[in-house]
Amino acid sequence: MPDINRLPGSRIVAIARLAFADPDVDFLCFGESDQPSPGVAREAVLAAIDSGLTKYVDVRGVPALREALAAYLTALHAKPVAEGRIQVTASGMAALNLALAATVRPGERLIVHTPAWPNGANAARLHGAEILTLPLTPLPDGRFRLDLDRLASLLPGARAFILNSPNNPTGWTASREELAAILDLCRKNGTWLISDEVYSRLTYDGSAAAPSLLDIADPDDRVIVCNSFSKSWIMTGWRLGWMVLPENTREAIAEIVEVTHSSVAPFIQHAGIAALGDTTTPEAFRGFCAEGRAMVSKALAGMNGIRYSAPEGAFYAFIGIDGLADSMSLAERLVLEHKVATAPGSAFGEGGEGHIRICFAQSPTCLSRALERLRAGLGTVAG
């Protein structure tokens, strides 16, 4: 079992700490918008506290939130989701950690695709898993795709596969056909499929949500879908997420919740209920992100040495830079010399080097200035 002190440090956090020292730096390095959380959620949490909802609650989640999530997911996806499959968690990351705790034992193999948000793989390392990486295939236009044949070669003997679509940092989004192929491969190999779908509502093809395992998987499949209020409802600091579990497994998962974080604060859960009733925020926020996405495309258009394609989903621009061999050093220089904080591509594992990631879910005024600074900084290394 790896010692906690041997986990790789977060390069994103390292850049953020450097940027915190200068209040004039524009922050594009975190996966967080500068927009406020929905008013209905803010009002609900205050009302819940005033009503005395500050005691222990059911570790599975308050019934009203579980029922609201089941109704929301049933309306959004092609197959119904029963309340008995819903587990409320203290964030999307907590959901991933619980999924790993339930499925992976020390020495067992786990597959992750890269580039990817590093926390999932690091959580698996804490559980003693052997990590196998599946690099996404870069395309000449800056997009990425998942090599299904390569996945098929890695799956035999693997205990679990973490899928993240829409993907952080690349924006790659699996089609329904690709999801069906992935699910079929996992079924054939008896592999658990852990699907991180926190960006599911942030897709730019006109659909209400990205293709999901909830559209195609059966209730008894070895599939765990993890999600969160953080992105679609602009509630990053609230730490509220959920899992959709296989039938008849929630009680076992609830026991793991009991010995990890016990339950989620009831007043936070009531904010989640209010957010689910707010159907306008996810749609409006997606439109807001689409504007930022367009601004990035315009800012990067025609720049020599830049490989970039507008993402299919999520709210990141993953920018390839010809000849870049040390993205961490570039990210540091962008902070110190150009006052813009970006995430180094090397933070996202194999295939990430040679890139930087920015979050475009920012107000137009902030993003416009940050992109001017970014263009100036990239002009010194690209060309």
pLDDT of residue 353: 95
Tokens of 310: 């507008």
DSSP string, 49-111: HHTT--S---TT--HHHHHHHHHHHHHHSSS---GGGEEEESSHHHHHHHHHHHH--TT-EEE
| Shared-domain flag, residues 21 and 95 | no
* 170, 238, 283, 319 from 143: Cα distances, Å: 7, 32, 25, 10
| Shared-domain flag, residues 179 and 241 | yes
| Element at 195 (helix H, strand E) | strand 192-196
Q: How far is CA 297 from the centre of its chain?
A: 22
| Shared-domain flag, residues 196 and 339 | no
Sort strands 130-135 and 109-114 into parallel, antiparallel or unpaired: parallel
Residue 296: which CATH number? 3.90.1150.10
Q: Please check whether residue 361 lies inside any domain of the structure.
A: yes
Q: What is the C-alpha separation between 258 and 60, in angstroms, rounded?
A: 9
Q: Please check whether residue 346 lies inside any domain of the structure.
A: yes
Q: Please check whether residue 371 lies inside any domain of the structure.
A: yes
Asked if residues 346 and 328 have their Cβ atoms less than 8 Å apart, the reply is: yes
- Write out 304-362 in H/E/C secondary structure: CCEECCCCCECCEEEEEECCCCCHHHHHHHHHHHHCEECEEHHHHCCCCCCEEEEECCC
Q: Please check whether residue 383 lies inside any domain of the structure.
A: no
| Shared-domain flag, residues 246 and 363 | no
| Shared-domain flag, residues 15 and 142 | no
Rg (CA), the chain: 20
Q: Please check whether residue 67 lies inside any domain of the structure.
A: yes
Ranges of residues in the chain with a pLDDT under 70 are 1-7, 382-383
* Domain around 44: 39-277
Residue 80: which CATH number? 3.40.640.10
Does this model's pTM top 0.85? My answer is yes
Tokens of 273: 């209920």
pLDDT of residue 78: 97
pLDDT of residue 8: 72
pLDDT of residue 6: 67
State the total domains in the chain. Answer: 2
| Shared-domain flag, residues 181 and 254 | yes
| Shared-domain flag, residues 347 and 271 | no
Q: What is the C-alpha separation between 258 and 261, in angstroms, rounded?
A: 6
Where a domain ends, among 277, 305, 324?
A: 277
Where a domain ends, among 237, 256, 277?
A: 277
| Shared-domain flag, residues 360 and 234 | no
pLDDT of residue 350: 82
Tokens of 39: 């008013």
| Shared-domain flag, residues 253 and 357 | no
pLDDT of residue 3: 57
Where a domain ends, among 229, 255, 277?
A: 277
